[in-house]
Amino acid sequence: MLTLVPALLLQPYADPSGAAWVCLLGYEAVSVVVLTLRRRVPATAFVVCFGALMVALVAGAAVEAKLSPLAFLPLAVLLHNMGGHCTSWKRTVLAVSGAAVLFAVGVWANRMTTDSAEFRGGLDVLAVLAPMPLAWVTGFVARTRQTLLAAAEQRAADAGRARALEAAQAARRERMRIAGEMHDVVAHSLTSLVMHAEVLRARGGELPDWARVQADGLAAAGRQSSGELRDLLRMLRDPADAIPLDPAPGLGALDALLDGHRAAGGTVEVWTNVVLDTLPSPVQMAGYRVIQEALVNARRHAPGAPVRLTLDQSADELRCEIVNGHGTQQGAAGAGVGLGLIRMRERVGALRGELETGPTDDDGFRVVATMPLENAGV
């Protein structure tokens, strides 16, 4: 619209004759078509428009009709388009050469078809066409800038991928280092612990009854810890292989966990109101880990204290409450590094649940985890 309408608005002031309007409208009809196709065939569109303009100018001059100077606007737009979208230098040179030939033919035809000096093309036509290469230059500069921007964006994307790859490789090296350290230090010590416990079990006939129970519990806990440590080391070495060798513990293994607590000298009273088949696996695993950590903390900080475990399932949540009383023996001084409660809070928070911890009035400790069941499996 901005290219074609100005010429129509100015034509009554340039030449209101019918012949001038016919030449202008015929030229603009061709311009509409070539402007529509300018992106697909930029060089061809320019040559066709230039030829149509020459025909309109020569035909108008032959009948002493003048076209509006703004009739050159479509040509400028097509030159800008050719500079921005025609990537072939061969086609560009051929298009400019064809336009030059058409210009020469148009000037010759104009000289042959009119005797009036006023309607013979000369310096006035050349003066209008002289700035036209600037339109091609602006299009070429715009295309060059877009190419440079695309290349810069590609380089930035490549650099980002390289940084991400380098970070992933560094993380993998660090995981391998940690896995190696854990294997050399923790795994060997744990294996030695299990071996000693098995030796005690093998000589159980020489031990009192309470010692045999302790040795059995120690061996079972050591074997479970060895299996979980083996899975952890395997996942550290290759995070893509994240499926553990053994099933993740859930509330179905609660009885074994409580037996281990009792074997270690603890006492626990259990009250449950749950249907395991209806509990999502993430909730069961988080509940198991919370209970496990709470029992370990009770044995560590309040040895001999009675523990009360309550599991209550409602329609939309699971509530785990573990309360231990005051210990009958002195707790381990400086036991733990304070990560147990943090890990419990992280596990429960990952399921959008809530964890409450704190001392009780009788110098005990209370842990309450509430985990919603909705969307817990997602």
Q: 108-112, 266-270, 272-276, 344-348: which range is least confident on average?
A: 108-112
3-state secondary structure the chain: CCCCHHHHHHHHHHCCCHHHHHHHHHHHHHHHHHHHCCCCCHHHHHHHHHHHHHHHHHHHHHCCCCCCHHHHHHHHHHHHHHHHHCCCHHHHHHHHHHHHHHHHHHHHHHHHHCCCHHHCCCHHHHHHHCCHHHHHHHHHHHHHHHHHHHHHHHHHHHHHHHHHHHHHHHHHHHHHHHHHHHHHHHHHHHHHHHHHHHHHHHCHHHCCHHHHHHHHHHHHHHHHHHHHHHHHHHHHHCCCCCCCCCCCCCHHHHHHHHHHHHHCCCEEEEEEECCHHHCCHHHHHHHHHHHHHHHHHHHHHCCCCEEEEEEEECCCEEEEEEEECCCCCCCCCCCCCCCHHHHHHHHHHHCCCEEEEEECCCCCEEEEEEEECCCCCC
- What burial class does residue 192 get, using C-beta atoms within 10 Å of its C-beta: 0-12 exposed, 13-18 middle, 19+ buried? exposed
pLDDT of residue 340: 77
Q: 46-60, 127-141, 216-230, 296-310: which range is least confident on average?
A: 216-230
pLDDT of residue 246: 55
Token code pair at residue 11: 């034509």
Q: Where residue 211 falls among pLDDT bands split at 50, 70, 90?
A: confident
Q: Which of 183, 194, 198, 197 lies closest to 232, judged by CA?
A: 183
Q: 24-38, 277-291, 324-338, 356-370: which range is least confident on average?
A: 324-338
pLDDT of residue 32: 92
3-state secondary structure 294-325: HHHHHHHHCCCCEEEEEEEECCCEEEEEEEEC
Residue 254 has pLDDT above 80, yes or no: yes
pLDDT of residue 216: 73
Token code pair at residue 151: 């290349």
Residue 184 has pLDDT above 70, yes or no: no
The 10s digit of each residue's pLDDT in 76-91 is: 898 898 888 888 888 8
Average pLDDT, integer, range 115-139 = 76
Average pLDDT, integer, range 147-153 = 92
Q: List the Cα angle 155/157/158 in 5-degree steps.
A: 65
Can you give the length of the chain in residues? 378
The 10s digit of each residue's pLDDT in 90-104 is: 888 898 888 888 888
Taking a C-beta distance cutoff of 8 angstroms, is the pair 113, 64 a contact? no
> 10 Å Cβ neighbour count for 309?
22
The CA distance from 354 to 286, in Å, is: 12
Q: At what angle do helices 73-85 and 18-36 cross, to 10 degrees?
A: 20
Taking a C-beta distance cutoff of 8 angstroms, is the pair 114, 120 a contact? yes
Name the region of 171 (left: φ>0; alpha: ψ -120 to 50; beta: rest).
alpha
pLDDT of residue 252: 87
The CA distance from 339 to 350, in Å, is: 16
pLDDT of residue 262: 83
pLDDT of residue 378: 43
Residue 124 has pLDDT above 70, yes or no: no
